[in-house]
Structure formats: structure tokens, C-alpha cells
Amino acid sequence: MRFVVARLFTVLTVAILFAPPSHAQATPFVWPLEPRPLVVRPFDPPEREWLPGHRGVDLAGREGQSVRAAGDGVVVFAGIVATKPVVSVDHPSGLRTTYEPVVSSVTPGSRVRGGDVIGTLASGHAGCVTPCLHWGVRRDRTYLDPLALMRTTPIRLKPLTPS
């Protein structure tokens, strides 16, 4: 029973965190790499925000591959963070997606549409043997699983017991 309640809480939390505000137009998100990439390291958030964890997913790619904005938004950062090239995009839904290591072809303030090229994949992401894209998403200070953006099946809550 605890598992069912915990799972239901997780499903509700994901639904609430990823639901756009009422004023935002819902637009589908797309994979930042084409073709659909292999996930080489999944989302593994820390128990507390100050603890170590993997706050995104690593997607297999190749050096120089085009990296695309996952959704419509505005580029809010394109530069270097701790020696790594990073691009961040704010979306109307209140989410922010981040992409690293990406050599940017956009500048802060640029409007992008889902699927627009925002840069090229560089090598050197820690933990990846071959070039890979670390793709993250957060709402405010809460990191979320970017793969949840790619779910195409709507969440349907079912009763725990038959009626």
C-alpha cells in the first residue's frame, strides 16, 4: 500500500510540476538531439538540493552534432560555466532547460522555437566515454527529469480499488 501511495504521489507531483501555468500556451517539447538519442545516464536527483546527484540526463551524441532547443522560449544564458560551454532557455511554461557542453550559436535574448539549432555538441562531459549532451530542466530551484517532457501519453489517475 505504501508503494501505491508513494507512486501516486510521484505521478501527481510530476503532473503538477510540468503543468504549464494557465496563461502559458502548451507546446510540445522535442528531443534536443536528432535522431532520438540513447539515454546513457538517467536522472538521479539528490535527496536534498545541496547533496551530490545527477540533475539531468546524458544523451549519446557525436562531437559537432547540432543541439536543438527542446521547446519554444528565450535564451537566457550562452557562455562558460566552470570551463564548460552551456546554453539555457526559459520556456513560457516556467521551465528552464539547460544544455552542456554546447558551443552556442545563439545569444542571450534570442527567441527560439522547439527544434531550432542552438549550438553544437562539444566533447568532454564528465562521466561520458563518448561525446554526450547533459540535458537538464528545472522549475525555479527544483530539478526535474527532462525525459518527462518527452512523454506523449497523458497521465490518467485510476482508483486504487474497483468501484
Q: Is the per-residue pLDDT at 27 higher than 70?
A: no
For residue range 68-79, what is the model confidence (pLDDT) as tens digits? 999 999 999 999
Residue 35 forms part of a structural domain: yes
The structural domain count of the chain equals: 1
CATH number, domain at 33? 2.70.70.10
Residue 162 forms part of a structural domain: no
Residue 45 forms part of a structural domain: yes
For residue range 107-147, what is the model confidence (pLDDT) as tens digits? 999 999 999 999 999 998 877 888 999 999 999 989 999 99
Q: Which helix (H) or strand (E) holds 6?
A: helix 2-18
Residue 6 forms part of a structural domain: yes
Q: Is the per-residue pLDDT at 9 higher than 60?
A: no
Q: What is the pTM for the complete model shown?
A: 0.77
Residue 163 forms part of a structural domain: no
Residue 99 forms part of a structural domain: yes
| Rounded Cα–Cα distance for residues 50 and 125 (Å) | 21
Domain of 34 in residue numbering reads as 2-150
Averaged pLDDT, 31-42: 95
